[in-house]
C-alpha cells in the first residue's frame, strides 16, 4: 500500500466508527483523539478493524503509534507494504 | 428462534457461556469478525440481569432504571442504529432525604448550579472537582478512597457526599471505601450528560439484540446450562452442557468470575498464585426489589422518573444494605416507557445482603418478603398519596431470586469489587483460549460497562483466534 492508500484506509475505518466525522480540517500531525473526539474504545475499534481487513496483529504497547494520521502511516507502512 | 441442544453442531470457533449484556455483545462482535459463535444460556430467555417479566398485563423491568449517555454511541457502534434510536432521556431525577430535596436532570451543568445554589459550594471548587474526577483513569493511584476524595473537596459536608455517592451506590454497589478512581470513572460517565432509558422496555431491547445476533449468524441455545469448561494441555477445547461435549477453540464465560473459576473450571489448571488471588475477590452486594402494577385504566401523577429516597439522617452504605433499610429508589414507569401499552408500573430497589435472606425458614422468608412489600408501598404513599388503592399486583425479589436466575455467587447484582477486574482480565494468561466477560471491578458493571467490556474482551478473543 502507498502512504496515501494507508491514509484512506485509516480514514475509512474512522468513518465507519463515526459517519459524521469531519476530515476537512484534520491536521495529520495532531492527535486524532482530540480532533475527531475519539475515545479509547474507538481506538480499539481501529485495531480490530485492521485485524479484520488485513490480518494485522497490533499489540497493546503499540497503540500509541496510532495517535496521529501521520504516525499511523509511519507505523503501518512496513506492515502493509505487500498488500 | 433459539436452537435446541439437539440441533447444534459439535464444533464452533468460540462458545459463549451466558447471555448477559456482556455475553450478548461478545457474541455479536465475534460474529461480526467472522467467527462461528455458539451462545449458551441457562435461563429460557436471553439478557441475564437485563430482564423483565409479565404479570396480569403488566410488564416489569428488573434493571432498566437508567444508564449513562455513553450508551447511545456504544449501541450505535456495537449493535445497530435502531437500538440506538430507542434510547431516550429520563428528565426528572428526584432526591428526597432529611438533608435535602431536589429535582435534577443529572448533568454537569445542573449539578454545578445545584451545588452552588442549594449547597453553597464555590464554583471554583465544583469546577476543580469535576476536572479532577473526569481526568481519573485506570492507571492512576489506586490507594485513595472515595471518602478521601470527597473530604478533599467537600470536607465535613455529609450532605454533598450523599448527593454525589447515593446514586452511584445504587448503580454499582460501591461504597466510600472503594478506590476513588472507580468512583471517578463511573461518575464521569453518569453525571455528565444525564440519565437515559430504553423506550419500549427491556423486552424490546433484548428482542432487537436477538434479531441482530441471528442476522449475524450466531447460534443461540437457551435452557442450556454449562456444567464444565473442558481443558486439555493448558488450553480450552470446549464445554460440557447437558452431558454433551461441544468443542471450540475459545470459550468466553459470562458466568460470574467466581463461578467461572470455582465451579466451571477444574482447579488443577490454575497456578497457585492465580487461584489465591481469585479467592480474595470480593463479590458485590445483591438487591431486593418490589414490583408494583397500577390497575388498568388508573393513572398516577408525574412525580419524577427516578427517585432516590431515604429517611435515614445521613448516607451510610451499611444502612443501605440493611434488611430494614430506610433507603430505596423508586423507578416510575409511565406509559411513555412502552408506547402503546397504557400502563403504569413502579419498581422499588434496595441494596441487600445475601446472608440476610439465605438462612431464613420458608415461612420466615415469605413473611420478610411481605413486610418488604408493605414497607415499600407505605413509602411510596409519601410521593403518590392514595396509590395503595390503585395497585393490583405487588411482588418482591430478594438476593435469592437473583441467585436463582443468574446463578451468581450470593446473588451479586454488580459483579465484584475492584480486584475482580485484574483476575477477569488475566484468566486467558492462565488457560489458553479461556476468557471472562461480565460485571467486574465496579467500572465494568451496569449496562454500559457490561457492553463495553464485551467489546474489549472480543478484541482479545479475536486476537487469539487469528493468532
Ligand atoms: C436489581 C438490579 C438493578 C440494576 N439496575 C441497573 C440500571 O438501572 N442500569 C444499569 O446500567 N445497570 C443496572 N444493573 C446492573 C446491570 O443489570 C448488570 O451490570 C448487567 O446487566 C450485567 O451484565 P453481565 O454481562 O455481567 O451478565 P449478567 O446479566 O449477570 O448475566 C449472566 C448470564 O450468564 C448466565 N449463566 C451463568 N452461568 C451459566 C452457566 N453455567 N451456563 C449457562 N449460562 C450461565 C446467566 O443465566 C445470565 O443470563 C442492575 C442490576 C440489578 C441486579
Contact assignment for A17 to B77 by CB distance below 8 Å: yes
pLDDT on residue B190: 82
Of 3.50.50.60, 3.40.50.10090, 1.10.760.10, 3.10.450.50, which CATH number belongs to B11-51+203-282+414-466? 3.50.50.60
Question: Hey, whose CA ends up nearest to atom 46 of ligand 1?
Answer: B406
Chain A residues inside the 8 Å CB shell of B466 = 51, 55, 57
Chain A residues inside the 8 Å CB shell of B449 = none
Please state the atom number of ligand 1 nearest to the C-alpha of residue B49: 29
Task: Return d(Cα B437, Cα B456) in angstroms, integer.
Answer: 9
Pairing of strands B93-96, B226-232: unpaired
Residue B429 has pLDDT above 70, yes or no: yes
- Domain at A3-79: CATH architecture: Orthogonal Bundle (1.10)
Quickly state the pLDDT bin for B6 (edges 50, 70, 90). confident
pLDDT on residue B138: 72
Closest listed residue to residue B266, CA positions, set B226, B237, B233, B228: B228
| Averaged pLDDT score across all residues of chain B | 96
Quickly state the pLDDT bin for B136 (edges 50, 70, 90). confident
Render pLDDT for B51-94 as a digit per residue (tens, 0 to 9): 999 999 999 999 999 999 999 999 999 999 999 999 999 999 99
pLDDT on residue B117: 97
Residue B239 in grid coordinates: 464445554
pLDDT (mean) for B208-215: 98
Indicate the domain borders of chain A.
3-79
Quickly state the pLDDT bin for B189 (edges 50, 70, 90). confident
The Cα of A31 is separated from the nearest Cα of chain B by a number of Å equal to 18
Question: Hey, whose CA ends up nearest to atom 3 of ligand 1?
Answer: B63
pLDDT on residue B58: 97
Quickly state the pLDDT bin for B1 (edges 50, 70, 90). low
pLDDT on residue B246: 97
Indicate the domain borders of chain B.
11-51+203-282+414-466, 106-191, 285-406
Render pLDDT for A22-80 as a digit per residue (tens, 0 to 9): 999 999 999 999 999 999 999 999 999 999 999 999 999 999 999 999 999 999 999 99
Render pLDDT for B296-327 as a digit per residue (tens, 0 to 9): 999 999 999 999 999 999 999 999 999 999 99
Task: Return d(Cα B309, Cα B311) in angstroms, integer.
Answer: 7
Strands in B87-90's sheet, in edge-to-edge order, are B67-68, B195-198, B87-90
- CA of residue B399 to ligand 1 center, whole Å: 13
Closest listed residue to residue B209, CA positions, set B68, B21, B402, B339: B21
Render pLDDT for A49-58 as a digit per residue (tens, 0 to 9): 999 999 999 9
pTM (global) more than 0.95: yes
Asked if B413 and B287 count as a contact pair (C-beta separation under 8 A), the reply is: yes
pLDDT on residue B7: 83
Interface A–B counts its CB contacts (< 8 A) at 28
Amino acid at each position: 500500500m502507498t502512504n496515501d492508500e494507508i491514509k484512506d484506509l485509516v480514514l475509512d475505518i474512522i468513518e465507519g466508527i463515526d459517519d459524521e466525522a469531519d476530515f476537512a480540517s484534520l491536521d495529520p500531525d495532531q492527535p486524532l483523539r482530540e480532533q475527531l473526539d475519539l475515545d479509547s474504545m474507538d481506538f480499539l475499534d481501529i485495531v480490530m478493524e485492521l485485524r479484520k481487513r488485513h490480518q494485522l496483529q497490533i499489540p497493546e504497547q503499540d497503540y500509541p503509534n496510532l495517535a496521529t494520521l501521520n504516525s499511523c502511516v509511519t507505523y503501518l507502512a512496513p506492515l502493509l507494504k505487500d498488500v | 428462534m433459539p436452537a435446541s441442544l439437539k440441533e447444534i453442531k459439535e464444533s464452533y470457533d468460540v462458545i459463549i457461556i451466558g447471555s448477559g449484556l456482556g455475553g450478548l455483545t461478545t457474541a455479536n462482535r465475534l460474529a461480526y469478525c467472522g467467527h462461528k459463535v455458539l451462545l449458551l444460556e441457562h435461563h429460557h430467555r436471553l439478557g441475564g440481569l437485563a430482564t423483565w417479566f409479565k404479570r396480569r398485563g403488566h410488564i416489569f423491568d428488573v434493571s432498566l432504571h437508567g444508564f449513562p449517555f455513553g450508551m447511545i454511541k456504544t449501541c450505535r457502534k456495537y449493535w445497530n442504529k435502531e437500538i440506538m434510536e430507542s434510547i431516550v432521556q429520563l428528565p426528572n431525577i428526584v432526591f428526597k432525604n432529611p438533608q435535602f430535596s431536589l429535582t435534577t436532570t443529572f448533568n454537569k451543568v445542573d449539578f454545578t448550579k445545584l451545588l452552588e445554589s442549594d449547597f453553597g459550594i464555590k464554583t471554583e471548587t465544583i469546577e476543580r472537582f469535576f476536572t479532577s474526577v473526569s481526568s481519573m483513569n485506570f492507571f492512576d493511584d489506586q490507594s485513595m478512597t472515595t471518602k478521601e476524595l470527597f473530604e478533599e473537596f467537600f470536607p465535613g459536608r455529609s450532605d454533598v457526599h450523599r448527593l454525589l455517592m447515593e446514586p452511584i451506590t445504587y448503580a454499582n454497589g460501591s461504597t466510600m471505601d472503594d478506590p476513588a478512581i472507580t468512583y471517578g470513572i463511573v461518575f464521569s460517565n453518569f453525571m455528565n450528560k444525564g440519565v437515559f432509558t430504553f423506550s419500549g422496555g427491556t423486552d424490546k431491547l433484548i428482542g432487537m439484540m436477538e434479531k441482530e445476533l441471528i442476522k449475524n449468524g450466531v447460534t443461540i441455545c437457551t435452557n442450556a446450562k454449562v456444567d464444565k469448561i473442558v481443558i486439555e494441555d493448558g488450553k480450552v477445547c470446549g464445554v460440557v452442557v447437558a452431558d454433551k461435549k461441544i468443542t471450540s477453540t475459545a470459550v468466553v464465560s459470562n458466568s460470574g468470575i467466581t463461578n467461572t473459576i470455582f465451579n466451571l473450571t477444574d482447579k488443577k489448571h490454575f497456578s497457585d498464585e492465580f487461584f489465591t488471588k481469585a479467592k480474595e475477590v470480593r463479590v458485590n452486594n445483591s438487591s431486593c426489589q418490589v414490583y408494583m402494577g397500577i390497575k388498568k385504566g388508573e393513572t398516577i401523577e408525574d412525580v419524577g422518573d427516578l427517585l432516590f429516597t431515604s429517611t435515614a439522617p445521613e448516607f451510610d452504605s451499611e444502612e443501605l444494605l440493611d434488611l430494614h433499610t430506610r433507603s430505596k429508589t423508586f423507578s416510575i414507569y409511565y406509559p411513555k416507557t412502552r408506547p402503546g401499552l397504557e400502563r403504569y408500573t413502579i419498581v422499588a430497589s434496595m441494596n441487600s445482603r445475601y446472608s440476610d435472606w439465605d438462612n431464613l425458614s420458608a415461612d420466615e422468608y415469605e413473611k420478610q418478603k411481605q413486610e418488604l412489600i408493605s414497607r415499600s408501598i407505605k413509602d411510596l404513599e409519601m410521593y403518590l398519596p392514595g396509590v395503595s388503592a390503585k395497585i393490583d399486583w405487588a411482588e418482591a425479589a430478594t438476593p435469592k431470586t437473583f441467585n436463582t436466575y443468574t446463578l451468581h455467587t450470593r446473588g451479586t447484582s454488580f459483579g465484584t469489587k475492584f480486584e475482580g477486574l485484574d483476575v477477569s482480565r488475566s484468566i486467558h494468561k492462565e488457560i489458553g483460549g479461556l476468557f471472562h466477560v461480565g460485571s467486574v471491578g465496579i467500572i465494568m458493571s451496569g449496562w454500559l460497562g457490561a457492553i463495553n467490556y464485551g467489546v474489549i474482551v472480543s478484541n482479545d478473543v479475536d486476537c487469539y483466534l487469528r493468532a
